[in-house]
Structure 1
Amino acid sequence: MCPMSDYKPKPKSPPRKSSTPRIAMDALLEDPAGNNPIRRALWLEGLDRRLRPYLPPSLAAHARLANFERGRLVFVVDAPVWRAKLRLAAPELLDAARSIGLDAAEFVVKTTIPNPVAAPVRKAKPMSAATLMSLQAALASLKKPDPSGSSDAG
């Protein structure tokens, strides 16, 4: 008996509904489970856009909605000074969240740690021949003793 005699062909997959490939985002959003992180991120982004008009104008560029879960509205700011200013706006933001249908009861502000920007490493430029000769001459002049043995202060 041939070893291939136990081979059973795979059932054919159902034909695609469309001949065009699906967009990656559409494929990710089709996840039937309710815990799709991409869908949640998009929902939070939309919620941030809806609450942003209630932020003081000077603060809007420094704060963003980070999360909403179990009645907690969590914002993130980029410096402690903005944290203090956002906490002053908390009652208005909680009211705004309730007005769009959220059961918001608590307001939390967190400060992010800014990412340090690494200075670019500069590659040393090669020395020109003239510069090299001048440097060597300067170093040589420091090594030579004065042949007269006297100083010019005389």
Structure 2
Amino acid sequence: MSVLDVSKPSVPRRPSGPQAALEALLADPSGDPIRRALWLDGLDRQLRPLLPPALAPHARLANFERGRLVFVVDAPVWRAKLRLAAPGLLDAAQSIGLEATELVVKSTVSPPAGAASPPLANVRSRPMSKAAHEALQAALASLHKPDPSDSGDAS
């Protein structure tokens, strides 16, 4: 007599979670922009190490289309330095199979993605309302833990 083992599923189960969701999204034609973003990110990882070490954290590949490599930098000084590195960068891009013929560099006021965020000292703050100030003080007071030596036990 044969006994069926119900503890093992007869059909293999697909993994669930973020990886399965990404696979499902990429299987759909609507995943094309995500595939392109992943490809550009991989291309950026290949090209950025070829930049001068001082420049690399300030530059990010933004696009590649019709032979144009488009980089974004976080200040005009890096734009000038990247333009000086253009011939070597174009040669490197061609060596990995890209038909790159031109380098375009754009500046932005915010750091490129992946770069360090600005220090909090540069962030402007608005004055706090009286109610918000009181709520913050109450929250801070509730976090205060009494000192164990002040337990009130008189020995």
Q: Could you tell me which residue of structure 1 aligns to residue 59 of structure 2?
A: 63
Supply the AA of the counterpart residue of 2:13.
Answer: S
Q: Could you tell me which residue of structure 2 aligns to residue 119 of structure 1?
A: 124
SS in 2 for 1:67: strand
Supply the AA of the counterpart residue of 2:79.
Answer: R
* Backbone CA RMSD of aligned residues: 2.6
Q: Could you tell me which residue of structure 1 aligns to residue 96 of structure 2?
A: 100
Gaps of 5+ in 2: 1-10, 112-117, 132-155
- Paired residues in the alignment total 110
Matching of residues 142-153 of structure 1 within 5 Å: none
Q: Structure 1 or 2: larger helix share?
A: 2
Instruction: Report whether the alignment pairs 1:24 with 2:32.
Output: no
Q: In structure 2, how many angstroms separate the alpha carbons of the residues matched to 1:67 and 1:123?
A: 42
Supply the AA of the counterpart residue of 2:32.
Answer: N
- Choose 105-114 or 91-100, whichever is displaced more: 105-114
Q: In structure 1, how many angstroms separate the alpha carbons of the residues matched to 2:38 and 2:123?
A: 31
Q: In structure 1, how many angstroms separate the alpha carbons of the residues matched to 2:79 and 2:14?
A: 51
- TM-score normalised over the length of structure 1: 0.63
Instruction: Report whether the alignment pairs 1:90 with 2:86.
Output: yes
Q: In structure 2, how many angstroms separate the alpha carbons of the residues matched to 1:42 and 1:124?
A: 44
SS in 1 for 2:128: coil
Q: In structure 1, how many angstroms separate the alpha carbons of the residues matched to 2:14 and 2:51?
A: 46
Which of the two has higher C-alpha Rg?
Answer: 1
SS in 2 for 1:58: coil
Change (3 A) 1:30 1:84: same
Supply the AA of the counterpart residue of 2:125.
Answer: P
Percent identical across equivalent pairs?
A: 66
SS in 2 for 1:101: coil
Change (3 A) 1:95 1:20: closer
- TM-score normalised over the length of structure 2: 0.62
